[in-house]
Amino acid sequence: MKAMGKLAIFGGAPVMPQGIQRTRWPRWTAAEMEELARVLTQEQIFGSDAPQVALLEQEWRRRVGVDYCAAVSSGTAALHTACGRPAWSRRRGAGPAYSFMATALAVLHQGAVPVFVDVQRHSHNLDPAQVARHVTPRTKALIVVHLFGLPADMDEIKRGGREARYCRHRRLRPRAGSDLQR
Ligand SMILES: Cc1ncc(COP(=O)(O)O)c(C=O)c1O
């Protein structure tokens, strides 16, 4: 393995050249801009009565095959909503060690302790072998993140949860709407 030189922050040569053109994300197409303008000019644009929100909930329910769906404003809000149930006191919420901070914050917000479970090198997602080691009687939930569009290995993660035998969250589901998961 090549020895690492001086870090760029200490005056070494940066790995990323200065002024490199970064990919802009997200990219909106003209059709999306048009649709956005159409939505923004509607009378009501947020809340469960807004036509576009109601349509999203209805289509998502159908796609995922569930009876209820509540649209929220962001991924962070979704995590808080999912964790927002009572009786978390002195409990733990396990999640991947490599993720966005919202994963751990949703657990902290419930007054519980986030437990960081190591991830796999190749997928950056929860390592199923580690799940069984970290799920204990105090674990209230295991939060599975499908990072960077790579689906976590749900079959193995569920097996790990079952092996731990304590896992209350028995009905771990694949990421809603994923075509890659069975
Ligand atoms: C893995 C993960 N979870 C949650 C979030 C939070 O999503 P949002 O920015 O929509 O609140 C992000 C955002 O990047 C994320 O990468």
> How many Cβ atoms from other residues are within 10 Å of residue 39's Cβ?
13
Q: Which residue, judged by its Cα, is nearest atom 3 of ligand 1?
A: 100
- End-to-end, the C-alpha distance of the chain in Å comes to 39
With contact defined as beta carbons under 8 Å apart, do 103 and 132 qualify? no
With contact defined as beta carbons under 8 Å apart, do 115 and 134 qualify? yes
Beta bridge partners of 126: 119
**Per-residue confidence (pLDDT) for residue 24, from 0 to 100:** 81
Ligand 1 lined by 106 (C-beta under 6 Å):
no
**Per-residue confidence (pLDDT) for residue 89, from 0 to 100:** 73
CATH architecture classification, 75-164: 3-Layer(aba) Sandwich (3.40)
Ligand 1 lined by 46 (C-beta under 6 Å):
no
Beta bridge partners of 139: 92
**Per-residue confidence (pLDDT) for residue 27, from 0 to 100:** 87
Domain boundaries, the chain: 31-64, 75-164
Ligand 1 lined by 102 (C-beta under 6 Å):
yes
Mean pLDDT, consecutive 10-residue stretches, the chain (182 aa), reads 78 84 84 94 89 94 94 93 77 91 93 94 93 88 92 90 53 46 36
